[in-house]
């Protein structure tokens, strides 16, 4: 399919998620990298100079960005003049400042696809996993009226950890899911760290990640919400309780999940659930979006799968893995299973790119 390429800006281009955006967009069929922006201390430098000693990925820095001059992310007018929309991965300032910055770009008629959490709870800001709730983009029109814009708006991606289990729960909601207990085991790249700069994580597990449990319990309810009067109304069920733990893995967030149905006597069979997962498709697959996995959910029959190291990179890190689905032998819950997602690909930058592809194809992001 022939589509006119448009220019993307990357705000926060020197951070780990910004680096991921760069590698994903370097040869993208829809988007050019039009501008790189970061904090004032990086502004005015070539990207290779601004990132010297700070590149955290195993992939090399793409040649085409090495000599690009980094702009000041707070020079909204100049950055907006060089791109059609921006990805925002700013992580070195306060939430209030990030919100002001994202709204400034939106009001400059530059759509924002954000990796940050600050706008996730706003009812007219869609929090997209395109395979699950692409229709939430409908509320963008309400948001534009609030902001007083014609083309500018903000969309966000959800917390990276919830993508290791929400995709499997979503098609089960029609059976009446009552409650969920989930524990996530989250890689250090979720904190924008490597083992080189976080040696304390070697041979270690930290049983707390600030703010993650609240996000794990609340954000799925927005994903599953309905639109009413132009805004997203969060679902009221199922009830979710969680624990979030940092583990010594480079990439990949794993989840252990326990599920209780409203009527345990009429719950789907194990075989039915696995079939639903394997056959799950959405508009993202129908549109053949470049970043969309051909198969969204992979189910592994082996007892020792999915594994972080073996399975996080399925379909360029954009597929979700599940395994060990079985009935709860104690009878407290109906089923339990394991989930896995790549946190900086599906969970962060890749999820943002997929959302932008979806918004582009649906006509929300356009060439200026």
pLDDT tens for residues 314-333? 999 999 999 999 999 999 99
Average pLDDT over residues 149-162: 97
Q: 305 and 179, same structural domain? A: yes
Q: 357 and 297, same structural domain? A: no
Q: 238 and 322, same structural domain? A: yes
Q: Where are the alpha helices (DSSP H) in the chain?
A: 16-25, 47-50, 63-66, 76-80, 95-107, 130-133, 140-147, 166-169, 212-223, 270-279, 283-286, 308-311, 314-317, 350-361
Residue 1 lies in a domain: no
Q: 167 and 74, same structural domain? A: no
Output the pLDDT for position 2.
Answer: 61
Q: What is the CATH number of the domain that holds 81?
A: 3.40.50.720
Neighbours of 247 (CB within 10 A): 18
- Is 253 an annotated catalytic residue? yes
Residue 114 lies in a domain: yes
Residue 224: exposure state from Cβ atoms within 10 A (0-12, 13-18, ≥19)? buried
Domain count across the chain: 2
- DSSP symbol at 70: P
Q: What is the CATH number of the domain that holds 219?
A: 3.30.360.10
Q: 234 and 188, same structural domain? A: yes
Residue 221 lies in a domain: yes
Residue 368 lies in a domain: no
- Per-residue pLDDT tens for 98-132? 999 999 999 999 999 999 999 999 999 999 999 99
pLDDT above 90 (res 10): yes
Catalytic residue of the set 83, 160, 244, 342? 160
Residue 366 lies in a domain: no
pLDDT above 60 (res 1): no
- Is 342 an annotated catalytic residue? no
Closest to 120 (Cα-Cα) out of 232, 236, 269 = 232
- Domain residues for the domain of 126 are 6-159+349-361
- Read off the tokens for 231: 């805004």
Average pLDDT over residues 72-76: 97
In whole angstroms, how far apart are CA 297 and each of 138, 175, 282, 364? 26, 19, 11, 27
Collapse the DSSP code of 118 into the 3-class scheme (helix H, G, I; strand E, B; otherwise coil) and give the result.
Answer: coil
What pTM does this model have?
0.97
- Per-residue pLDDT tens for 300-317? 999 999 999 999 999 999
Q: 143 and 38, same structural domain? A: yes
Residue 265 lies in a domain: yes
Q: Where are the beta strands (DSSP E) in 91-212?
A: 112-114, 154-156, 177-186
Q: 174 and 139, same structural domain? A: no
pLDDT above 80 (res 226): yes
Q: 186 and 73, same structural domain? A: no
Q: 170 and 131, same structural domain? A: no
Closest to 88 (Cα-Cα) out of 167, 159, 8, 163 = 8
Collapse the DSSP code of 259 into the 3-class scheme (helix H, G, I; strand E, B; otherwise coil) and give the result.
Answer: strand
Q: 269 and 237, same structural domain? A: yes
Residue 261 lies in a domain: yes
pLDDT-derived band of residue 3, with 50, 70 and 90 as boundaries? confident
- Read off the tokens for 122: 């706003």
Residue 314 lies in a domain: yes
Output the pLDDT for position 37.
Answer: 98
Catalytic residue of the set 83, 88, 253, 342? 253
**3 or 362: whose pLDDT is higher?**
362
Distance from C-alpha of 87 to C-alpha of 102, rounded to nearest angstrom? 10
Q: 165 and 314, same structural domain? A: yes
Q: Provide the mean pLDDT of the chain.
A: 97
Q: 119 and 207, same structural domain? A: no
């Amino acid at each position: 399919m022939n589509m006119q390429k448009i220019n993307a800006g990357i705000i926060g281009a020197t951070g780990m998620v910004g680096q991921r955006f760069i590698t994903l967009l370097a040869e993208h069929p829809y988007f050019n990298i039009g501008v790189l922006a970061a904090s004032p201390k990086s502004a005015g430098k070539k990207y290779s100079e601004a990132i010297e000693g700070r590149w955290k990925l195993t992939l090399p820095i793409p040649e085409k960005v090495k000599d690009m001059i980094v702009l000041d992310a707070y020079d909204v007018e100049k950055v907006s003049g060089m791109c059609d929309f921006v990805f925002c991965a700013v992580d070195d300032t306060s939430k209030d400042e990030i919100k002001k910055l994202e709204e400034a770009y939106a009001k400059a008629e530059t759509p924002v696809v954000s990796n940050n959490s600050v706008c996730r709870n706003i009812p007219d800001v869609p929090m997209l996993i395109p395979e699950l709730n692409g229709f939430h983009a409908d509320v963008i029109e309400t948001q534009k009226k609030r902001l007083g814009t014609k083309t500018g708006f903000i969309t966000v991606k959800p917390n990276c950890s919830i993508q290791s289990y929400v995709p499997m729960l979503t098609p089960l909601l029609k059976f009446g899911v009552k409650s969920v207990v989930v524990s996530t085991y989250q890689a250090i790249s979720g904190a924008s760290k490597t083992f080189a700069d976080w040696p304390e994580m070697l041979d270690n597990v930290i049983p707390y990640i600030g703010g993650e449990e609240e996000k794990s319990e609340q954000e799925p309810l927005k994903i599953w919400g309905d639109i009413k009067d132009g805004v997203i109304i969060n679902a009221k069920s199922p009830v979710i309780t969680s624990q979030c733990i940092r583990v010594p893995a480079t990439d990949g967030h794993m989840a252990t999940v326990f599920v209780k149905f409203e009527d345990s006597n009429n719950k789907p069979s194990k075989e039915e659930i696995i079939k639903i997962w394997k056959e799950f498709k959405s508009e993202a697959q129908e549109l053949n979006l470049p970043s969309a996995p051909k198969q969204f959910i992979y189910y592994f029959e082996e007892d020792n799968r999915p594994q972080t190291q073996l399975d996080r990179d399925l379909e360029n890190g954009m597929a979700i893995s599940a395994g060990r689905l079985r009935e709860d032998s104690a009878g407290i819950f109906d089923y339990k299973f394991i989930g896995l997602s790549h946190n900086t690909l599906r969970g962060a930058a890749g999820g943002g790119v997929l959302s932008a592809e979806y918004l582009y194809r649906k006509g929300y992001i356009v060439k200026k």
